[in-house]
Structure 1
Amino acid sequence: MKRSFRKYHRLLGIIVSLPLVLTVLTGMLTTFVREWSLNLGVPASFLLSIHTGEIFHLEGIYPILNGLGCLGLLVTGLSMSGLLGRKTRPNPKS
């Protein structure tokens, strides 16, 4: 069972990594541009359109896919760690 979760976790991690990296970096850069008045040569509105998925015309589903990907990674990661597994009782020695 753990082997199949490792396979799914690895595959899901590869698929989800690019959208999550885009979301994190553009969110941080938007904050730098807006709040700290840092001039990167890129307008904050463009960074925000990448951050929300609007530039790809996915603004309605992009956050949902990011959230589902994170939840999938959490579930497969926790299942591999043994935190979600059944507790086994030790056999009493007779």
Structure 2
Amino acid sequence: MTHTIREKQQLLARVRRMRGQVEAIERALENGAECEKVMHLLAAVRGAVTGLMGEVVEEHVRTHLVDREKYPDALNADAAEQLLDVVRSYLK
């Protein structure tokens, strides 16, 4: 079972919150909101998408690449953590 299935409800809840944020952008544009407000809404959506991507990538690495029970010699856990640190900093 993959982590996206195991964490399905949590991930869907995040996506639904993002949908609400995108709808808020749509409403702001329709109502002629100030640029500053629209930019804040856009930044919030970007942060939410980036956070979700980071979570899915991290769980993918931990589940499929560094599962010590299934593949004890598959990868060095320290190397995986270093990779995840780089991915996290890239996604910021």
TM-score per shorter chain, which class? 0.3 to 0.5
**Normalising by structure 2, what TM-score?**
0.40
Higher relative contact order (CA 8 A, sep 6+): 1
| More helix by percentage | 2
Structure showing greater Rg = 1
**Normalising by structure 1, what TM-score?**
0.39
